[in-house]
Amino acid sequence: MKRFKVRSVCASFLLVALAACACTQKRVQPPASDDVRVHVGSVGFDRTSSAHYVLLEDDSRGRALPILIGESEAQVIALELHGIKPPRPLTLDLLKNILHTTGNRVDRVVVYDVRDGVYYARILLDGGRYVVDARPSDAIALAQASHAPIYVKAKLLRPRSALALGPFQSLPRTARGLGLTVQEITPAIAKYFNIEPGTGLLVSASAGAAYAAGIRPGDIVTAVAGKAVKQLPDFDRALSVLREGEDITLTVRRDGSQHSVTLKASSPKS
What's the rounded mean pLDDT across residues 173-186? 82
Question: Who has greater pLDDT, 153 or 85?
Answer: 153
Domain spanning 174-264, CATH class: mainly beta
Q: In what order do the strands lie in the sheet with 63-69?
A: 130-134, 118-125, 106-115, 150-153, 35-46, 51-58, 63-69, 158-159
35 has pLDDT over 80: yes
150 has pLDDT over 90: yes
Dist CA 230 CA 189 (whole Å): 15
DSSP state of 170: S
The model's pTM is: 0.61
Supply the pLDDT for residue 265.
Answer: 59
CATH number of the domain at 35-162, please? 3.10.690.10
Q: Half-sphere exposure of 151 toward its Cβ, with a 13 Å CA cutoff? A: 18
Supply the pLDDT for residue 29.
Answer: 74
Do you know the residue count of the chain? 270
174-264: same fold as 35-162? no
171 has pLDDT over 60: no
| Residue 52 CA from chain centroid, whole number | 17
241 has pLDDT over 50: yes
* Closest to 86 (Cα-Cα) out of 207, 192, 218: 218
8 has pLDDT over 70: no
151 has pLDDT over 50: yes
Q: What percent of the chain has pLDDT over 70?
A: 78
Describe the chain by its helix, strand, coil percentages, rounded to 5. Answer: 35, 35, 35
61 has pLDDT over 80: no
What's the rounded mean pLDDT across residues 156-168? 71
Domain ranges of the chain: 35-162, 174-264
